[in-house]
Amino acid sequence: MSPTNPSVSPATGSALELFSLAGRTAVVTGAGGRLGPVWIGALLSAGARVCGLDLPRAELCPALAALLETHGPQRLALVEADVTSRESLARARAQCEERFGPARILVNSAGVDQPPSAPKASWLLQDIPPEVCRGILEVNALGLFQACQEFGGAMAEGGGGVIVNIGSLYAGRSPDPRYYEHLPLSPPFLKPPLYGMSKAAVVNLTKYLCVHWGPRGVRVNTLSPGGVLGGQDEQFKARFQARVPLGRMAVEKDLTGPLLFLVSDAGAYVTGQELLVDGGYTAW
């Protein structure tokens, strides 16, 4: 392992230097999703160049448009990619390398969930269609693995890097159906069981990749947010927040510090871990 590899070198220097990502290229899947711009903004703020990956049909969300306007094409590029297609990911990696050089940071944020507002969002547990389950697993588990293969494999061959897989509070806890009792849906809304199942798989995959790629200078961790504030109704928020020791849901800035810790030299000896950012939810 090279002593100059930022993923394996001893943590030295000032606090600001430890968190600096200047000169490094990062890739974020699910760039236009709920949290994609949060991760991208954090990486840009620490000095990285960022390639944001998303589906060809994805619309440019306001948060991502604002980042493009602020940082310009010299720091941020948007590349079309579908994580369920290895060929698509390979093309995206080639474009990212041509634009900014090899990626040394990968944030796997692409994911599928099913909020209560989604069309046909409620079924009896025994009636959930297999196509709904399959779609979640293909993106959240298999798609994430393929992104790790494509970009993480290149890191392992090229001197190391850092992977952060975005997990969830529900990787290790069941959603409480009482949070949704007030919703006028019949059958009552259920958080998709395959969502938590897929995120639990992400935590296990993180440990697997840590073991296999650690000797080649690749650190792999999971960052699992708790409930993140984002348009939920007041009754849901009240019920959820009553369960959180800090008494509130996460806001976007609560997530940026943990991400930068994991991807920077500040976390140089941290790998194979799940970092829960949940306000103490899991302490009960």
pLDDT tens-digit readout, 247-256? 999 999 999 9
Work out the pLDDT band at 224, boundaries 50, 70, 90. Answer: very high
pTM here?
0.93
Report whether CATH 3.90.1150.10 matches the domain 16-111+140-169+192-228+250-275.
Answer: no
- Choosing from 195, 208, 269, 281, the catalytic residue is 195
pLDDT tens-digit readout, 266-279? 999 999 999 999 99
Alpha-carbon separation of residue 109 from 39, 75, 167, 235 (angstroms) = 8, 19, 8, 28
Instruction: For the chain, give the percent of residues with pLDDT over 70.
Output: 95
Work out the pLDDT band at 6, boundaries 50, 70, 90. Answer: very low
- The per-residue pLDDT for 2 is 38
Which two three-digit tokens encode residue 167? 């997990």
Q: Where along the chain do its domains lie?
A: 16-111+140-169+192-228+250-275
Tally the C-alpha atoms within 13 A of residue 95's C-alpha that lie toward its C-beta: 17
Alpha-carbon separation of residue 26 from 62, 149, 157, 163, 265 (angstroms) = 21, 15, 17, 10, 14
- Span 88-92, mean pLDDT? 98
pLDDT tens-digit readout, 41-82? 999 999 999 999 999 888 899 999 999 999 989 999 999 999
- The per-residue pLDDT for 114 is 82
Active site residue 195: yes
Q: Which residues pair with 218 in a beta bridge?
A: 161
Work out the pLDDT band at 16, boundaries 50, 70, 90. Answer: confident
* Mean pLDDT over the full length of the chain: 93
Helix pair angle (36-45, 253-263), 10° resolution: 60
Identify residue 261 by its one-letter amino acid code.
F
Work out the pLDDT band at 8, boundaries 50, 70, 90. Answer: very low
- The per-residue pLDDT for 214 is 98
Work out the pLDDT band at 11, boundaries 50, 70, 90. Answer: low
Task: Tell me the C-alpha distance between 120 and 153, whole Å.
Answer: 39
Which two three-digit tokens encode residue 128? 């959930």
Work out the pLDDT band at 3, boundaries 50, 70, 90. Answer: very low
- Span 174-202, mean pLDDT? 94
pLDDT tens-digit readout, 106-115? 999 999 998 8
pLDDT tens-digit readout, 22-31? 999 999 999 9
Omega within 30 of 0 (cis) for the link into 129 = no
